[in-house]
Amino acid sequence: MMTETILAIEQLETYYGKIHALKGISLEVKQGQIVTLLGSNGAGKSTTLRTISGLVPAGAGKVSFMGRDITKEEPHNIVSMGLIHVPEGRRIFKGLTVKENLELGSFTLKDDMERQKRIEHVFEIFPILEDRQKQDAGLLSGGEQQMLAIGRAMMTEPKLLLLDEPSMGLAPIIVREIMRIIKRLNEEGTTILLVEQNAKIALKLADYGYVLETGKIVMEGDGATLREDRSIVQAYLGA
Amino acid sequence: MNTEKNITTQTRLTDNIYAGLEKKPVLYGIFALLIVAVLLVPQFANNYLLEIFTNTWFYIVLCLGLNIVVGYAGLLDLGYAAFFAIGAYTTGILSSQFGMNFWLTLPFSILFSALSGVIIGGPTLRLRSDYLAIVTLGFGEIIRIAARNLSITGGASGLIGIERPYLFGIYLSKIHHFYYLFFLLVILAVIVSYRLHYSRLGRAWQYIREDEDAAEAMGINRVQIKLYAFVIGAIFGGMAGSFYAIKMTAISPETFVFTQSAMILLAVVLGGMGKIPGVILGACALVLFPEIFREIGQMRMLLFGIVLLIIMIFRPQGIWPERRN
């Protein structure tokens, strides 16, 4: 069976002023997959995601999503096509309640019934968020904030979810919980591009992986192959 | 160490007072009392007092308008007086040179202020960070200098003989007419500000203000949402300008200098950005402080500056700020 390519990146280059952050990256995400992008600090992982979602303009190359060229598209239009980016550091709105944060996720939606339905779905995936729905999101623990950030993104019912280091700064047990949820979202039909520094946990989930080093892809392969590769485990395990 | 502790307990105390004031029955009670008081003032007050109050109402409208831009959307506008000028000159030119009725000039005033908001905001709001501040600063000066040099605006001496209108058969000429008229504008501005704050748009402004990237990543059109704030703020300024023109019957470019923009901004920041009662307090302070201390002459602006410094040091969030969480 041929699986459809949902996201394709060809020779993508990005600059921050004079700094050449991405030096021609090509990668592919197929419908229904979890693809991971590994690399150490400063390799360009976040930049790749930010360029895909339009938050930083691409210098050269092409990004296509479901067959459409989105390289020059405005970020809010990309969101409405079904590609959503959960930025690094969670970026939830402190001072607003958990529920209000989720409502932001469906901001572009005008149907209140549908919104309620989606909120209930998010609560089903993250029961802890339902218990805390009236609390200030700033008072949540790190893991709960990460869940809220993912839950907020799920409010748009995305086709493709870009996750930027969801394990960052979390205790191992919470990381496992988050990974379990990512797996579940994927099984429910969301395609996922997962950026991680923690190669070991990411490769447990991923169907396919890319390794990024100073703005270039230095290795790629399916999850199982990369898991076996001792050099990767050694270099990017972080332990 | 000790003083720091004092400041926090003090802050907590004022916050508790405000929280008490924000309970609904208390709030409505205060509103009712204030409105009755405001309506009764002209029975007792002399013209000087009425003039000051009218002036206060006027600045409240301007400050509420700028609050939408600065407080709600978090955009720094350093040339707000430009929109006030556009409104005032639109009404001034149309009524003094084309003999148009004041009420008919209002739609034009809205149109021109909104249009200038789009022209200035459209390109600059695409950029991040503080470019808007620089552009609005320049825009404020351009409008003033243009008004001073064009013949249609009456040059440096400005426009005189702007026709005052009738309202419900009353010819608006006495100070208490304007006192009531401007108070009506205040009520209108408060209602619009309040409704906007709790609207979908208000929510979007809040998201953009708190975290532009996150809001954008969730599908909010950053440029469009900011432009709404900028244009709505411009319309507030334009309307206030039109009413200013008929109250004064004469306008000159020197009314719209940079200090005017700076003072309005100051009142918003001083009172508490994004918070309607805070902004109103700020506007009152802006007008009343120099009046109360008129006797000490030139010294009063110095004193005003010192008071501002003290407030900025001990209460940087403003007198009555928006309550977080």
**Domain boundaries of chain B, sorted by first residue:** 1-44, 51-314
| pLDDT of B243 strictly over 90 | yes
pLDDT band for position A48 (cuts 50, 70, 90): very high
- How far apart are the C-alpha atoms of A229 and A207, rounded to whole Å? 15
What average pLDDT does this structure show over B243-265?
88
**Complex ipTM value:** 0.75
* Mean pLDDT, residues B169-182 taken together: 83
Has residue A47 been placed in a domain? Answer: yes
For residue B271, the model assigns a pLDDT of: 84
**Over pLDDT 70: what percentage of chain A?**
96
Kindly state the greatest CA–CA separation across chain B: 66
| Predicted TM-score of the model (pTM) | 0.81
**Which residue from B minimizes the CA distance to A137?**
B325
Percent of chain A with pLDDT over 90: 38
Domain assignment of residue A193, given as a range: 5-89+158-236
Looking up tokens 């704030």 gives: B229
Mean pLDDT of the A96-108 span? 85
Mean pLDDT of A47-63: 91
Find the range with the poorest average confidence among A62-76, A92-106, A195-209, B164-178: B164-178
Taking CB atoms within 8 Å and a gap of at least 24, the contacts of A205-208 are: A205/A34, A205/A36, A205/A179, A206/A34, A206/A35, A206/A36, A207/A30, A207/A33, A207/A34, A207/A35, A208/A30, A208/A33, A208/A35, A208/A36
In angstroms, the CA B58 to CA A124 distance is: 52
B51-314 CATH pick, 3.30.2020, 1.10.3470, 2.60.98, 1.25.40 = 1.10.3470
Candidate from A74, A87, A108 with C-beta closest to B214 = A87
Give the per-residue pLDDT at A239. 40
Nearest CA in chain A to B210: A93
Q: What is the mean pLDDT of residues A95-112?
A: 84
User: Can you say whether the dihedral through the CA atoms of B159, B234, B269, B61 is positive or negative?
Assistant: positive
Label each residue of B3-61 as H, E or C: HHHHHHHHHHHHHHHHHHHCCHHHHHHHHHHHHHHHHHHHHHCCHHHHHHHHHHHHHHH
Q: Helix, strand, or coil here: A236?
A: helix
Helix (H) or strand (E) holding A12: strand A5-16
CATH number, position A21: 3.40.50.300
| Residue B88: C-alpha distances to residues A206, B2, B58 (Å) | 64, 51, 13
Question: Maximum CA pair distance of chain A?
Answer: 51
CB contact under 8 A, B207 and A152: no
Total structural domains within chain A: 1
* pLDDT tier, B325 (very low <50, low <70, confident <90, very high otherwise): very low
Cβ distance of B217 and A80 shorter than 8 Å: no
Query: How far is the CA of B277 from the CAs of A75, B30, B66, in angstroms?
Result: 36, 12, 14
Residues of B in contact with A84 (CB under 8 A): 217-219
Q: How many angstroms separate the CA atoms of B138 and B79, rounded?
A: 7
Identify all chain B residues contacting A55, using CB atoms and an 8 Å cutoff: 213, 216-217
Task: Give a yes or no: residue A127 inside a domain.
Answer: no
Residue A164 belongs to some domain of the structure:
yes
Place of tokens 């993104």: A153
| Number of other residues whose CB lies within 10 A of the CB of residue A199 | 26
pLDDT for residue A125 is more than 60? yes
What is the side-by-side order of every strand in the sheet holding A60-65? A19-30, A5-16, A60-65, A68-69
Task: Place B108 in a pLDDT band, splitting at 50, 70 and 90.
Answer: very high
Out of A53, A76, A138, name the one closest to residue B220 (CB): A76
Mean pLDDT of B63-86: 91
Mean pLDDT of B227-253: 92
The Cα–Cα gap between A105 and A96 comes to: 13
Average pLDDT of chain B to the nearest whole number? 84
**Cβ of A17 under 8 Å from any chain B Cβ?**
no
**Nearest by CB to B218, which of A94, A96, A107?**
A107
